[in-house]
Structure 1
């Protein structure tokens, strides 16, 4: 990584346990009316056939900004998963919630509002699936979500979906097979992984015992625009990648996988996946400029190409190095257990996933 920083602008501001919380756990077996699912490991043109997938993000489900920074990647991910045969439901924040990490809302009412008019070009992507790719935006409101309604956090949406929302809205009496978060507008790497709502939502899923992957895509050279081409390439890689994990029986809730995809909008293809660690340097940083006696404007900066602290990366296997220096797809295992020196509960699975990433995963 690098030293000099460029100012990008300012921004305005278990079953018994569940029962004790008043939450109904998913049934351990499907009810008679539940659609049958083919055996895991389906191959061919529809490698995800029979899978139920929940998708969330931290960019919202609006997809209305010209910069493509408010949820367009979610629709590309939905498109690719349905094309691969999955049954998909989306429950995502009502408003952009970037930087919310694992934050949750501890009181009030959450409303999951069905979006009936989808962004142009994505209306029929999931038309043949049982849930038809239903999209819900989740706000904090006792009633309908309005344009300016406060939003649920990314972790809120996943917890709501897994504990009550998918049963109520989609009739899923079992937990989904997989949770996917993203595709985020911009990578989630290095020190800002702890801030990431995309990663936070994936962690919320594995906390509930559901396998999860968090997808993020780099922007273009301006870092202010997020080309559809990047989202589409990431999503199509993601569908093939998940299919490979499924075929090998490597979808696990022991850890989430963080997938960061480079900029391919100029026509240069992504390098093959690399198994990485969360970097120690900084990619995006926060600065605070005093603008009044008691007030400080929040600035977001990006490291440039001059070496030095705090941008210099010291880890040889850093996610940021694979992504930015080498143009590779970065795949990083992430867990909610922040205990220093913790041992993997199932190191054999971790080794198998790493082998898949390094030698067998899609190259695109």
Structure 2
């Protein structure tokens, strides 16, 4: 495409981004073609919370359906291939033997059945289990990275006809933030890293949830999904979708009516916001539990990195946007510093507001 044509397309798409419905919109009424800034974009959507969306706490995949709705409303063609069971904490784990089976979900959660009905692929939702035959209620699950590699290395071509796609991998919306030391454990982030390893741009989304730490209100998922669609549309309009690094986006809790603050460009913190504990419950047995930071003055686990994702999100209430790569060496090394700076400038100055 010639530069003048590319600039014209970006300008037209960006204008559409500005009119994209915000997080409160949940309509399934078709938008005019010019108001659908993700038209023609093929998206693989996965998570680490499964595709079940059955728990009252909304911790097992409801965010995936809110994200699917928002992306389709913006014009994207979305195919879901997600873990069969909850796989939270699996990081970049992969399965080394056996077989993976896709099971298409025919009855989607109430209220989400017609969200993507008009897409070219029909936007199927698949769960991926570790089995040589049909997935059953107790079948073990594929990991988040398994789902991405399976999709990119054959399943999307077989099931959706995308022999040269997708254009983007989106992961989430995770039930809970993925910040600081938790990033290494995150299957949501691990799946995004698997995509960029395969040369496909990727964005990972997580939301904080309410003060209880165990409930994840629909309002948080919906706000995150609305921002996600507008962010992806803006990155696309400015030719900033890249496979050089993934973007990790964490959205604050807005379920009590508070507003999220504008996106802040952050780094992965070094603290531990949530950690595993192991309490003896027998001579050779230890129960797994959790410890939490509370951001009180003098709290020993408060983050010390100045631009940390956890500080921006949990203390200051900002949307946190963090570039992440599979290179986990100390310090910063980038072969594409210009693009990294362009993405940062867009996020901080020109990107969507909450």
- Please report the TM-score for the alignment, with normalisation by the length of structure 2: 0.90
Question: How far apart are 1:80 and its partner, in Å?
Answer: 0.3
Alignment correspondent of 1:129? 119
Q: What's the CA shift for 1:175?
A: 2.0
Q: Is the 8 A contact 1:48 1:81 kept in 2?
A: yes
Q: 1:327 pairs with 308, 317, 326, which one?
A: 317
Cα offsets for 1:260-303 (capped at 9, x unmatched):
00000111111000000011111111110011111111111211
Deviation at 1:324, TM superposition (A): 1.1
* 1:58 alignment counterpart: 48
- Secondary structure, counterpart of 2:296 in structure 1: coil
Structure 1: stretches of 5+ with no match in the other structure? 1-38
How far is 1:342 from its partner? 4.5
Aligned counterparts of 2:47 and 2:70: Cα–Cα separation in 1: 16
Determine if contact 2:293/2:302 at 8 Å carries over to the other structure. Answer: no
SS of equivalent to 2:80: strand
Structure 1 residue 307 displacement after superposition: 4.2
- Structure 1 segments, 4+ long, off by >4 Å, are 39-42, 307-310
Q: Which of residues 325, 332, 357 in structure 1 aligns to 2:347?
A: 357
Distance of 2:206 and 2:150 partners within structure 1: 23
Offset at 1:308? 4.7
Q: Is the 8 A contact 2:293 2:299 kept in 1?
A: no
Q: How does 1:284-323 map to 2 (within 5 A)?
A: 284-308=274-298, 310-323=300-313
| 1:29-66 C-alpha deviation (Å, 9 max, x unpaired) | xxxxxxxxxx9746222110000000000000000000
1:173 corresponds to which of 131, 146, 163: 163
Using the alignment, how far apart are the partners of 1:271 and 1:306 within structure 2? 21
Residue 79 of structure 1: aligned partner: 69
Q: How does 1:135-154 map to 2 (within 5 A)?
A: 135-154=125-144
| Equivalent residue, structure 1, for 2:92 | 102
Q: Greater helix share, 1 or 2?
A: 2
Which residue of structure 2 lines up, in the alignment, with residue 116 of structure 1? 106
1:155 aligns with 2:112: no
Distance 1:237 1:219 in 2: 16
Distance of 2:9 and 2:201 partners within structure 1: 14
Higher relative contact order (CA 8 A, sep 6+): 1
**Number of matched residues?**
326
In the TM superposition, what is the alpha-carbon distance from 1:341 to its structure 2 partner?
Answer: 3.1
The aligned residue for residue 185 of structure 2 is 195
Match of 2:333 in 1: 343
Report what 2:227 is aligned to.
Answer: 237
**How far does the alpha carbon of each residue in 1:157-191 deviate from its partner, in whole angstroms, 9 at most, with x for none?**
00000001101111111121100000000000011
Structure 1 residue 309, shift from structure 2 partner: 6.2
Q: Distance in 2 between matches of 1:320 and 1:342?
A: 19
Q: Secondary structure at the match of 1:232?
A: helix
Structure-2 residue corresponding to 1:17: none
Aligned partner (choices 197, 206, 227) of residue 196 of structure 2: 206
The answer to whether structure 1 residue 67 and structure 2 residue 57 are counterparts is: yes
Counterpart CA distance in 2 for 1:265 and 1:329 is: 15
Separation in structure 2 between the aligned mates of residue 89 and residue 217 of structure 1, nearest angstrom = 22
Quote the Cα distance in structure 2 between the aligned partners of 1:40 and 1:82.
20
RMSD (Å), alpha carbons: 1.2
Instruction: Name the CA distance, whole Å, in 2 between partners of 1:310 and 1:98.
Output: 26
* Structure-1 residue corresponding to 2:254: 264
Counterparts of 1:310 and 1:254, CA distance in 2: 35
Aligned partners of 1:257 and 1:331 also within 8 Å: yes
Question: How far apart are 1:305 and its partner, in Å?
Answer: 3.4
Q: Which residues of structure 2 form unaligned runs of 5+?
A: 1-7, 17-34
Normalised by the size of structure 1, how large is the TM-score? 0.88
